[in-house]
Structure 1
Amino acid sequence: MRGEFNGLQALILNDCRYAFYVYFFAYRLQLALVAAAREVVEVHQFFKDLSDIVNIASTSSKRHDELQKAQVAEISHLVSINELATRTGMNQIGTLQRPGETRWSSHLNSVTSLLKMYNATSAVLKNLKNTASNYSQRGDAHNAYNRLRSFEFIFILHVMKEVLGITDNLCQALQRRSQDILNAMSLVLKTKDLIQKLKDDGWNELLKNMISFCETSELDFPDMNAGL
């Protein structure tokens, strides 16, 4: 509206000088969170790698089909060894989501979609680095595969899932039409408390989940007790 109706903010303030102009609560929260996170070099590199992995693994309809076939094969295998429940609506085939700077929840959706489709994505990239049509595509797939399989990437993937999951609840709440500024301030404080709790008490559970993920996906992980 700011660009479509010039001077609208001034007209409203003329009638009500105590009116607040707030530009997209959730949109600003997304930008602020991502910008702050990317001040950490490793996190900035993670999001760059995440975008590359998603683009390389699903950039064409052929690769998208390969990704879905890999998911079907993985789900069938897990069901056959009783590692996966088979209730109606479960184990649906998904797609990788691209993170976008201006789309609410897009970074969380990208992280969670990759976690869900991690082994299928690994299989597609492993195949591409050996069979892609030219050296450039093979090299890109090779680099993406190595980053995807690194513990550093897995570590940040899980950390960002937890942090973005906490802030996503705030994002969703701020998009409600009935939202008011006092309730929004309360939600921000609660979100800060949850992030602090994750920092203070969430390490053991986070580490446990990462190690379990690495074992399931046959990934190497460092000995956290080394040197103690």
Structure 2
Amino acid sequence: MTIILRFVNSNGILTERFFAIKSVSDTTSLNLKNQISDVLVRFNLQVQNMRGQGYDGANNMHGSWNGLQTLFLKDCPYAYYVRCFAHRLQLTLVSAAKDVSDINSFFSHLDNVINMITSSPKCINELKSAQRKEIEHLLEIGERESESGANQIGNLQRAGSTRWSSHYNSVKSLIDMYAATCKVLEYLSDHSPSTRSRSEVGGVYKTITTFEFVFILHLMRRILAIADVLCQSLQKKTQDILTAMRFVRTTKTILQVLREDGWEEFLKEVKCFCSKNDIHVPDLNGSYMVGRSRDREYPTIEHHYHFDIFNVAIDFQMMELDTRFNETSIELLSFSTALDPKYSFESFNMDNICKLAEKFYPEDLSSKIFIV
């Protein structure tokens, strides 16, 4: 465990100091708290004077019930916890989406498709050849523009555990090369050297040509595209807090609008894609009975996709954003910008400074503030 202290020194200069690397016997939140407290006491620093804390995204750190930040807040109510804005945000959003079982299965299938296609130079060449033929055909029938840079030949993108936007790029690349990918899988299912490999390819092809896979593929493209704008903006070193907060609120609003008003338009988009790629669209008014008893009535297939996947996936995204950017931290940071020294304190705002003191640090300042 690495411990770093961030403070303002006696000259009013913001300073960071590395304090210690601690070897911990276990990573329970209580043990971590005791270890940090021991280090602070050794340097004669009072825990009660802590005014902020920040950790990674592990539950034992940020948990609202027994997390490390919660334990410190019990001892020091002004030690507000603010998570790093950009710390693997898209990865945590993907993880939140995977809490929906159907979406978790989707990402597993997506990995299989990409691994199968990108595992050998021969498969990659087949994919590029299929793309080239598809582009030539679309240009002939006038469904593609011939402008510069509009018809690049690419490759499927792998999703990584550390690379920014990798899941979004992975989903987007498969949509862009979906027809070509299907042709390569068809070719492999006929020309693979063994019965086992032909069976594996056939299983993957059967999976990605289902309505469910295509539905979730487009859903994740839509959700991750919205989140990607926020992720990219938060990574900018020049980003100021107020602009970042506006991006957060805008992202939440767009997701909410998608949930409340975007179903019909989204379903139309998925059906159009299925029609272009000869994918069977089930009777959405039929009963959804997969793996269930036939002795009772169940919602329609459309109800399942709309409420059990579409709505729930968006809800998990919004819950993750609410946890990471809760109203307390947003308001705290927004008021704090009034103290930003950049551009000769251009953002100075006395009203916000007073609100910051009154709401978040009432005992740190006297009841009377004299302004000269």
> Normalising by the residue count of structure 2, what TM-score does the alignment of the two structures yield?
0.56
Which of 75, 80, 97 is matched with 2:157 structurally? Answer: 97
Which of 54, 62, 77 is matched with 2:122 structurally? Answer: 62
Give runs of aligned pairs for residues 109-128 of structure 1, distance below 5 A: 109-128=169-188
1:216 matched to 2:276? The reply is: yes
Q: Report what 2:201 is aligned to.
A: 141
1:186 matched to 2:246? The reply is: yes
1:91 deviation in Å?
1.1
Q: Report what 2:262 is aligned to.
A: 202
Name which one, 1 or 2, has greater alpha-carbon Rg: 2
For structure 1, the residue ranges without an aligned partner over 5 or more in a row are none
- Decide which moves more: 134-143 or 51-60: 134-143
1:36 deviation in Å?
0.8
Q: Distance in 2 between matches of 1:78 and 1:159?
A: 25
2:88–2:164 CA contact under 8 A, matched in 1: no
Q: Distance in 2 between matches of 1:20 and 1:183?
A: 22
1:131 matched to 2:191? The reply is: yes
Q: Report what 1:167 is aligned to.
A: 227
Q: Report what 1:150 is aligned to.
A: 210
Q: Distance in 1 between matches of 2:225 and 2:91?
A: 15
Which of 93, 106, 111 is matched with 1:46 structurally? Answer: 106
Which of 160, 166, 181 is matched with 1:106 structurally? Answer: 166
Q: Report what 1:88 is aligned to.
A: 148
SS in 2 for 1:25: coil
2:109–2:204 CA contact under 8 A, matched in 1: yes
Letter in 2 for 1:104: W
What percentage of aligned pairs have identical amino acids? 42
2:109–2:207 CA contact under 8 A, matched in 1: yes
1:63–1:124 CA contact under 8 A, matched in 2: yes
Which of 37, 47, 61 is matched with 2:97 structurally? Answer: 37
- Equivalent residues, number: 222
Q: Distance in 2 between matches of 1:85 and 1:223?
A: 35
Q: Report what 2:236 is aligned to.
A: 176
1:187 deviation in Å?
1.9
* Greater per-residue strand proportion: 2
**Relative contact order higher in (CA < 8 Å, ≥ 6 apart):** 1
- Decide which moves more: 17-26 or 118-127: 17-26
- Decide which moves more: 177-186 or 85-94: 177-186
Q: Distance in 1 between matches of 2:88 and 2:150?
A: 34
2:157–2:170 CA contact under 8 A, matched in 1: yes
* Greater per-residue helix proportion: 1
1:13 deviation in Å?
3.6
> Normalising by the residue count of structure 1, what TM-score does the alignment of the two structures yield?
0.89
Letter in 1 for 2:189: K
Q: Distance in 1 between matches of 2:119 and 2:226?
A: 30
